[in-house]
Amino acid sequence: MQFNLKEALSLRSSVFSDVIKDFGFPDIVDGVKDIAPIVRHTYKTNVANGGAIIAHHTARFTMDGGSCSVDGEGSIVVACDNAQIHGAKITVKGKRNLVVIGPFARPRRVDIRLEGDDCVFLLGAESTWESGMALVTHSRVMAVGKDCMISSGVVVRTADGHGIYNKETKEHLNNPGDVVVGDHVWIGSGVRLSKGVKVHHGSVIGQEAVVTKDIEPNTINVGIPARTVNTGIVWSRTGSYEDIPETYR
């Protein structure tokens, strides 16, 4: 049995296409091939009520406290070629949800939770995430682009979990929102990304910052709430400028 990721995404187009089109995620679709349903005996897995776990034969799941549970009709977890999922906990509960771990992506001790129906989580090709939590609810999208470097203790939520209303008008003030991170973004330890924010390509967010509004490309941002302190920057995973991929210079 082969799996068509493009078709899976198209079925979720109402929550996917408008959010992702500016961030290059079709590259994930083009890079997926030769994937089929699997069960990894070295990883705690649970599939129920029409859910599925699907992976390229080069994807690797390692235990170390990790697990993957998919409970719900049409909900799918996909691990692309050479994805390395080490100690992450993936929990999907609801219908038509989708988790994609892109080619060569490396989530480690990250708690990824999708609750409700029609939610989407994407971690782009060659992106790394050391630890933290992604909580996707209310049919929203949390998407991370290619070659991102996310440190430890980073928390991302698409909703607050509790409602806040105007006392007089009863207007709902804290509506859920998609969270999108562009390509080649560096997110420091302990950062919080709030519902509805977009972090554009090439940017850096300093440790412990709380992001409550959109981040512009190629900027450094720090503080609570996060504010821009430098512009026109590029960054490297090593100490060398030459190690910055040409695309991001």
Q: How confident is the model at residue 9 (pLDDT cuts 50, 70, 90)?
A: low
- Asked if the model's pLDDT at residue 219 lies above 60, the reply is yes
The model's pLDDT over 93-110, given as tens digits with 9 standing for 90+, comes to 999 899 989 889 999 999
Contacts of 137 (CB under 8 A, 6+ apart): 114, 115, 116, 119, 157, 158, 159, 161, 176
Q: Which residue has the tokens 């692309």?
A: 80
Q: 3-class SS at 29? A: helix
Q: What is the pLDDT of residue 18?
A: 52
pLDDT in tens, 105-150: 999 999 999 999 989 999 988 999 999 999 999 989 899 989 999 9
Chain segment 61-100, per-residue pLDDT in tens: 876 778 899 999 989 888 888 899 999 999 999 998 999 8
Other C-beta atoms closer than 10 Å to the C-beta of 184 total 27
| pLDDT classification of 37: cutoffs 50, 70, 90 | very low
Write out the DSSP string of 188-206.
-TT-EE-TT-EE-TT-EE-
Tens of pLDDT, residue by residue over 186-216, are 999 999 999 999 999 999 999 999 999 999 9
* pLDDT confidence bin for 4, thresholds 50/70/90: low
Give the predicted TM-score (pTM) of the model: 0.88
